[in-house]
Amino acid sequence: MSVFQAPSLESLVSELTKLPGVGKKSAMRIAFHLLRSPREEVDSLAAYLVDVKEKIDLCTVCGNYTETEPCELCRDPRRDGRVICVVEQPSDVFLIESTGEFRGRYHVLHGALSPIEGIRPESLRIGELVARLQDGEVQEVILATNPTVEGDATAFYIGETIKERKVSVSRIARGIPMGGALEFSDQLTLARALKGRRGLE
Amino acid sequence: MSVFQAPSLESLVSELTKLPGVGKKSAMRIAFHLLRSPREEVDSLAAYLVDVKEKIDLCTVCGNYTETEPCELCRDPRRDGRVICVVEQPSDVFLIESTGEFRGRYHVLHGALSPIEGIRPESLRIGELVARLQDGEVQEVILATNPTVEGDATAFYIGETIKERKVSVSRIARGIPMGGALEFSDQLTLARALKGRRGLE
């Protein structure tokens, strides 16, 4: 017999530890919290989980999560269709949207190139991006993949693929994070920050 | 429209932030993880949630969570029925069980006295504890409520309530945690540790 005295509790805890950022201790806290909660609250959480998988699909244009086709960002006439920001994950769209600084459209690749993990260009939504440049409306592509080996390789690959097109291609800036200190920056970031220096505005 | 571009995603995130230790950022990480996961995994998590509420009830003897009546700990003939350890929450039973140091039985109060929150003796399972002392089998009661104002008050109240009975009543030790340093202990804990000093074994 386990220390839990209840197999269903043990199963729930082990299921919860599969979630990102949830260790054994947090899983137990969550499970005991749910046991104390009214039945309706737990049922409603379960229903929301099922709901999200049922209702949400990928937008066929940008690849972001959406409940409508195409998604609200692709449909919104107030957004600038001449600029596309390319990101690795749908969560990146959310992050950029929450800055309120970008009014163009997005393209979600759903990953980054990684020969080790077998992620090749065909596995990503690069063909779809090229297709979106076809009609000549898009004038600028911002490559906002992560500043990692994979993200850089992906940005480079996309840059090479679309360099024949009449679009300006840029890469988001790398440097010292806002509020960060030189003291706590690694050499690579510091080198990048020096290289990417800009005149005072 | 929200930054999420999907109302069901927004609902799930807000539902997840109700869980203990899950802030907005963790909730989003979990939600995006679930969106990337296969449908079956999410369905199975939802099923485990419903399952736990369906199958688990309180043991009528000790008040711990159980799928059987009475619970496995109350039924286990290898456990010492002469000692009862009184705790506030079912999660405390789990914590004490995981030490492997206690072979008696438990009694879960489901809370601690708190006039401010309106938790009076009648709201706790104190009457049930007194009933368990009726037949004279129990010889020792260990009060393992938390070392907080509420937990201390509860321990004191129970001590007063059962002092007429022929049982020895004790309170778990307070002191410097193992691996802790005097430097990082608060005055109250340090004072308690001095007061609770014991001869070298």
The span from the CA of A81 to the CA of A140, in Å, is 10
Report chain A residues whose CB lies below 8 A from the CB of B6.
55-56, 65-67
Q: For chain A, how far is it from start to end, CA to CA, in angstroms?
A: 68
Distant-in-sequence, close-in-space partners of B10: CB < 8 Å, separation ≥ 6: B2, B4
The span from the CA of B46 to the CA of B64, in Å, is 24
For chain B, residues with pLDDT lower than 70 are: 1-4, 201
ipTM of the complex: 0.84
**What does the DSSP 8-state code read for residue B183?**
G
- Closest Cα of chain B to A94: distance in Å? 6
Decide if A5 and B42 are in contact by the 8 Å CB cutoff.
Answer: no
Of the candidates B34, B51, B91, the beta carbon closest to that of A32 is on B91
The span from the CA of B85 to the CA of B174, in Å, is 16
pTM: 0.82
Tell me the two tokens of residue A88: 């690795």
pLDDT, one tens digit per residue, over A40-84 is 999 999 999 999 999 999 999 999 999 999 999 999 999 999 999
Of the candidates B22, B49, B67, the beta carbon closest to that of A7 is on B67
**Contact status of A26 with chain B (Cβ, < 8 Å):** yes
Q: What values do phi and psi take at A38, rounded to 5? A: -65, 145
**For residue A112, how many C-alpha atoms fall within 13 Å in the half-sphere facing its CB?**
19
Q: How many CB pairs under 8 A join A and B?
A: 156
Question: Domain spanning B65-199: which CATH class is it, in words?
Answer: alpha beta
**What does the DSSP 8-state code read for residue A129?**
H
Q: What values do phi and psi take at B183, rounded to 5? A: -55, -35
Of the candidates A4, A42, A67, the beta carbon closest to that of B49 is on A42
* Nearest in space to A84 (alpha carbons), one of A147, A160, A174, A170: A170
Other CB atoms closer than 10 Å to residue B149's CB: what's the count?
12
Element (H, E) at B128: helix B126-132
Q: Show me where the domains of chain A are located.
A: 7-55, 65-199
Question: Domain spanning A7-55: which CATH class is it, in words?
Answer: mainly alpha
Of the candidates A18, A49, A66, the beta carbon closest to that of B6 is on A66
The span from the CA of B45 to the CA of A120, in Å, is 31
Nearest CA in chain B to A28: B91
In chain A, positions 138-197, which contact chain B (CB-CB < 8 Å)?
none
pLDDT, one tens digit per residue, over A71-82 is 999 999 999 999
Give me the residues paired with residue B140 across strands: B83, B168
Q: Alpha helices, DSSP H only, in A37-136?
A: 39-55, 72-75, 90-97, 126-132
Q: What pLDDT sits at residue B1?
A: 45
Tell me the two tokens of residue A53: 């998988």
Question: Tens place of pLDDT for every residue, chain A, 201 residues?
Answer: 466 778 999 999 999 999 999 999 999 999 999 999 999 999 999 999 999 999 999 999 999 999 999 999 999 999 999 999 999 999 999 989 988 889 999 999 999 999 999 999 999 999 999 999 999 999 999 999 999 999 999 999 999 999 989 899 999 988 888 887 888 888 888 888 888 888 776
Helix (H, G, I), strand (E, B) or coil at B19: coil
- Closest Cα of chain B to A11: distance in Å? 7
